[in-house]
Chains A and B, each alone.
Chain A
Amino acid sequence: MSLVARFRCPVCGATGELALGPEMLEEARRAGAARAVAACPRGHTVVLTLDAYGAVRSAVPALAAESSRCEVTDRAPSFLRGKLQALVEKGAATEEDALLLEKAKEARWIVC
């Protein structure tokens, strides 16, 4: 069984996918629902609400942070661009994302 949540982007209608780790499902099981941030194939950042079975209960567009004047450069590896774009628009929600954002700036994958 592959645990993938599929969602329709509320901005452009494209179908996106998000890989679900066991800890996210566990959190949804415990709390009744879990939140996740995903990027649609066209780069829009979406906030998902997931239930304990991994089903998407809602998908709403994330608002760009007002102060963000950063952008992802061509130097960023392609596998990471969606994630970096989401971080630039939404900001880092976790400690690992904050560190990735910091390292991405040092590597000039993101310029501000």
Chain B
Amino acid sequence: MLKTLIDNWGMLRVMSHFMKSIGGVKGLKLFSQYDRYYTAEAVKAALACGASCERPGNDFQRLLFDIAKRRLGRCPPPEVERPREPMPALMREYFEMVEDVVVFRACELASKPVRDVIPEEEARALYQALVSADFYKAFRVSLYLGTGAVRWGRVLLIGAGTQEPLDFLKACELAGAKCEVAAMEVDEVVYRDLARLAERRGFKAYLGWDSLEGFDGAVAQNVLHWAFDPLDVLVRARRHASRLLVSQGVIEDSGIGFVLTYELGAVRLLSWREVEALAKQAGWMLERRYAKYPDYIAVYTRREQRR
């Protein structure tokens, strides 16, 4: 408990509303326990359908078993009891999604390509359900308020999707800050929805990196695990902004979330140390780290600015 408190002290302090709603440090520990439980359940479901820890038959099995080894120490996993303590409502919303989309489909996913189990249209609908879920909206609004990103001036939301700009604008409204927001997306289908939103809500939307201007700050909120080259994302961000807020779900305490997003199109898992190493390699200097896990949260400045 003490380690969790120390590792997430900044988040507990600056995102206090949100943290209270998930039960504070105790809530973070409970989140980890439920994550372990659902990871074990998903692995058991896959193994019951003929999957093998030693010889994973497809990418889904490889990812799931890799996460099981990291989170539970081994595969096949040890018996993990369902935590007795009930979840706070916001957390329950997330794990109900995990149960439905990951655990209940693990058997099928262990034997078929992911798009045979979850067709493209369904993946996009699940993506919209995920990003617009109450827990995620509450987290993001609290993140932008707590880290002060709403007062950075002109802000670029990298890989914004369809919900992040709405949440950023909501945070600006709550803070009474006059924000100038731009949102960039590399997925053309998502961009079409984003562009419609941008027109209605009065922010700029960009498709890809090419036409971007300069910004006071940028936000990479749960973007890196979708990127084929996360270092490239961070290097490009550095060309366009002098400050960067990174918020990234990481393998420590939140493994099953990667399986959920993998089913929707994400491509990798990351640890908080990997995220930090990538940011430094891209030329960012750590200004303040708020949390290590389950969501790594830190603010960076462009390195040459301090020289």
Contact = CB atoms under 8 A, between A and B. Distances in A.
Interface of A: 1-4, 17-23, 25-26, 75, 77-80, 83, 95-97, 99-100, 103-104, 106-109
Interface in B95-125: 96-97, 99-101, 119, 121-122, 124-125
B277 interface: no
5 contacts: A21-B90, A22-B17, A23-B170, A77-B129, A80-B97
B128 A100 contact: yes
A19 B163 contact: no
B200 interface: yes
Contact of A106 (B18, B125, B131, B200): B125
Given A17-B89, A22-B138, A2 B21 contact: yes
Nearest to B101: A77
Given A77-B126, A96-B162, A108-B121, A19 B90 contact: yes
Contacts of A2: 21-23, 88-89
B193 to A, nearest CB: 6
Contact of A22 (B21, B100, B162): B21
B121 A106 contact: yes
B37 interface: no
Main secondary structure, interface of B, reads: helix
A96 B134 CA distance: 11
Contact of B163 (A22, A96, A106): A96
B interface, how many residues as a size bin?
35 or more
Given A22-B21, A95-B166, A103 B125 contact: yes
Interface in B123-162: 124-129, 131-132, 134-135, 137-138, 141-142, 162
A69 B29 CA distance: 45
Given A19-B93, A80-B129, A95-B166, 17 more contacts: A1-B20, A3-B20, A19-B90, A21-B21, A22-B18, A23-B137, A77-B97, A77-B101, A80-B100, A95-B200, A96-B137, A96-B162, A99-B128, A103-B121, A103-B128, A107-B119, A108-B121
Closest 6 CB pairs of A and B: A21-B138, A22-B17, A19-B89, A96-B132, A103-B125, A107-B125
Contacts of A22: 17-18, 21, 138, 141-142
A103 to B, nearest CB: 4
B20 to A, nearest CB: 5
